[in-house]
């Protein structure tokens, strides 16, 4: 039975919400994270053998829409499309399933915040995102976009994927310092089985390309324009296109002039401004032809100015920008998994005991990275020992706020006995010679 047929055979049900503890396929629901007009997002974990656990995000089509064959086809199109994408800067889709009246995607769980939240927090704090961080984020988004644009079918035929909705809300910065492009739900691809309605606009108006706004043909260069808008806003902390309504916003994109970033930010690097404005060229032929070219220019810019950004640098920035959210996220993650595996109750978790993680970037990053290790964090009063690649419960993440006691000294008994024998022999020889 196909997924489409399974959906169409479902009896009409009231719009319901999955409850904590409810099982969907082989996943147990923890809670609902968000809900939109077409789908809702849940935090869940995989149910495996021998206590195996893996946190995942489940994107579930709203039941009333899942019963619509056209919507179900579009939803499954997204699953097939994203399942072909494998890149460190693209959130992965692990599974697609049908369970009763539920049609859902199982995706990589991203422990972080989208760039919309990052920008909002920076503005609230009266800060600008550092140029190095902005360029580093944009370079990673460009790398993910290029991987999508270059993706091919199993027979090596180009798929000509265009994301069409590259915006701060669809880029997630994880607290470990990774950048992930999400939501290919409206992406254009040559082999989609569903077709967009003629004249229907898809994407957020403020991040559309001029050709997208007028309903013209689009290709990868449309995503390059959106990437330019993203970089502009990251590096200036200012919205580029904002009208009274969507029509006014699109009119600005098609006809308006773009204010140079250097007029908004003092000492804005000339080389970075050239990259931004080239990506924002109104005529697609004047833009970068590929996201890879944007990525390479951003890398060269960063290297020439000594601004190369690692995942550690981005993680440290996020923890400085939003320390409370980092600590809350860690507590929530550990409490969720402890509840799942039936270990210590959540009430026993003490936020104060996690303060060293929130305040200490290196400790936090190493505590969530692969490889068991003992990590001295520069502070002799705090050590973190990671017993597993990723801690699955608080008992696996031991935080010692006092220096470990010195190891007991072991007496080398064989050497002690030998020394005693030599001393006895020396005394006996001395007494013998003296008596002789």
Indicate if the pLDDT at residue 269 is higher than 90: yes
Give the separation between CA 65 and CA 144, rounded to whole angstroms.
30
Record the tokens describing residue 307, joined without a space: 């601004």
Q: How many Cα neighbours within 13 Å face the side chain of 188? A: 19
Give the separation between CA 330 and CA 323, rounded to whole angstroms.
11
C-alpha dist (Å) from residue 254 to 89, 134, 212, 258, 336: 30, 25, 10, 11, 47
Q: How confident is the model at residue 336 (pLDDT cuts 50, 70, 90)?
A: low
Lowest mean pLDDT of 225-239, 260-274, 373-387, 397-411, name the range. 373-387
pLDDT over 70 percentage in the chain = 70
Record the tokens describing residue 244, joined without a space: 């009274």
Report the 10 Å Cβ neighbour count for 244.
7
Higher per-residue confidence, 384 vs 254: 254
What domains can be seen in the chain, in order of their start residue? 3-108 (3.30.200.20), 112-315 (1.10.510.10), 340-436 (no CATH)
For the residues of 50-67, what is the DSSP string, one character each? GG---EEEEEEE-HHHHT
Indicate if the pLDDT at residue 402 is higher than 50: no
Record the tokens describing residue 392, joined without a space: 């699955």
CA dihedral 257→238→212→222, nearest 10 degrees, is 100
Record the tokens describing residue 112, joined without a space: 């972080």
Give the separation between CA 311 and CA 127, rounded to whole angstroms.
21
User: What contacts 431, CB < 8 A, 6 or more positions away?
Assistant: none
Note the pLDDT of residue 409: 55
Give the separation between CA 58 and CA 231, rounded to whole angstroms.
29
> What would the pLDDT profile of 347-364 be if each residue is shown by its tens digit?
333 333 333 333 333 433
> What would the pLDDT profile of 3-57 be if each residue is shown by its tens digit?
433 333 333 334 578 888 899 888 999 889 888 778 889 999 888 776 677 889 9
> What would the pLDDT profile of 217-232 be if each residue is shown by its tens digit?
999 999 999 999 999 9
Q: How confident is the model at residue 410 (pLDDT cuts 50, 70, 90)?
A: low
Note the pLDDT of residue 392: 34
Note the pLDDT of residue 381: 29
Q: Do residues 89 and 179 make contact, with C-beta atoms less than 8 angstroms apart?
A: yes
Note the pLDDT of residue 84: 82
Note the pLDDT of residue 414: 63
Q: Do residues 59 and 43 make contact, with C-beta atoms less than 8 angstroms apart?
A: no
Catalytic residue among 77, 114, 165, 377: 165
Higher per-residue confidence, 357 vs 409: 409
Record the tokens describing residue 370, joined without a space: 């692969």
Answer yes or no: 165 catalytic. yes
Q: How confident is the model at residue 341 (pLDDT cuts 50, 70, 90)?
A: low
> What would the pLDDT profile of 182-227 be if each residue is shown by its tens digit?
987 655 544 444 444 444 444 588 999 999 999 999 999 999 999 9
Note the pLDDT of residue 358: 36
Give the separation between CA 159 and CA 152, rounded to whole angstroms.
5
Lowest mean pLDDT of 80-94, 104-118, 326-340, name the range. 326-340
Interior/surface letters 25-54, b for 16+ CB within 10 angstroms, e for the rest = bebbbbebeeeeeebbebbbbbeeeeeebb
For the segment 282-292, the average pLDDT, to the nearest whole number, is: 96
Indicate if the pLDDT at residue 95 is higher than 90: no
Q: Do residues 293 and 106 make contact, with C-beta atoms less than 8 angstroms apart?
A: no
Q: How confident is the model at residue 90 (pLDDT cuts 50, 70, 90)?
A: very high
Note the pLDDT of residue 412: 54
Indicate if the pLDDT at residue 368 is higher than 80: no
Q: Which residue has the tokens 């229907």?
A: 200
Q: Which residue has the tokens 């890149």?
A: 87
Of 217, 110, 233, nearest to 160 by C-alpha is 217
Q: Could you tell me the pTM of the whole model?
A: 0.71
């Amino acid at each position: 039975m196909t997924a489409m047929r399974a959906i169409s055979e479902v009896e009409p049900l009231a719009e319901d919400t999955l409850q904590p503890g409810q099982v969907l396929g082989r996943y147990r629901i923890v809670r609902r994270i968000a809900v939109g007009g077409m789908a809702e997002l849940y935090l869940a974990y995989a149910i495996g053998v021998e206590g195996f656990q893996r946190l995942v995000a489940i994107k579930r089509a709203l039941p009333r829409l899942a019963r619509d064959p056209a919507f179900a086809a579009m939803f499954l199109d997204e699953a097939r499309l994203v399942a072909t994408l494998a890149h460190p800067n693209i959130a992965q889709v692990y599974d697609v399933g049908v369970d009763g009246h539920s049609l859902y995607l199982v995706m990589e769980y991203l422990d972080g915040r989208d760039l919309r939240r990052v920008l909002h927090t920076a503005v609230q704090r009266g800060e600008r995102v550092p140029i190095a961080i902005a360029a580093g984020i944009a370079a990673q988004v460009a790398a993910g976009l290029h991987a999508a644009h270059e993706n091919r079918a199993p027979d090596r035929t180009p798929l000509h994927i265009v994301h069409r909705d590259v915006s701060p809300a669809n880029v997630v910065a994880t607290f470990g310092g990774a950048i992930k492009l999400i939501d290919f739900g409206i992406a254009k691809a040559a082999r989609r089985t569903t077709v967009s309605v003629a004249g229907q606009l898809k994407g957020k108006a403020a991040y559309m390309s001029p050709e997208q706004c007028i309903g013209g043909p689009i290709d990868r260069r449309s995503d390059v324009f959106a990437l330019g808008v993203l970089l502009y806003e990251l590096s200036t902390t200012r919205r580029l296109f904002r009208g009274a309504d969507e029509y006014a916003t699109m009119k600005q994109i098609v006809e308006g002039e773009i204010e140079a970033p250097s007029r908004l930010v003092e000492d804005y690097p000339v080389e970075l401004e050239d990259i931004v404005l080239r990506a924002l060229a109104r005529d697609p032929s004047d833009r970068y032809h590929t996201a890879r070219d944007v990525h390479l220019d951003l890398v060269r810019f960063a290297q020439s100015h000594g601004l190369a950004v690692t995942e550690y640098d981005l993680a440290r920035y996020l923890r400085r920008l939003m320390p409370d959210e980092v600590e809350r996220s860690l507590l929530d993650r550990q409490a969720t998994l402890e509840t799942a595996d039936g270990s210590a109750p959540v009430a026993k978790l003490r936020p104060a005991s996690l303060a060293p993680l929130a305040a200490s970037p290196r400790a936090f990053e190493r505590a969530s990275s692969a490889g068991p290790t003992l990590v001295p964090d520069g502070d002799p009063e705090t050590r973190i020992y990671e017993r597993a690649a990723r801690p699955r419960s608080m008992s696996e993440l031991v935080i010692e706020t006092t220096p470990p006691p010195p190891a007991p000294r072991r007496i080398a008994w064989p050497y002690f006995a030998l020394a005693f024998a030599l001393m006895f022999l020396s005394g006996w020889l001395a007494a013998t010679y003296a008596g002789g």
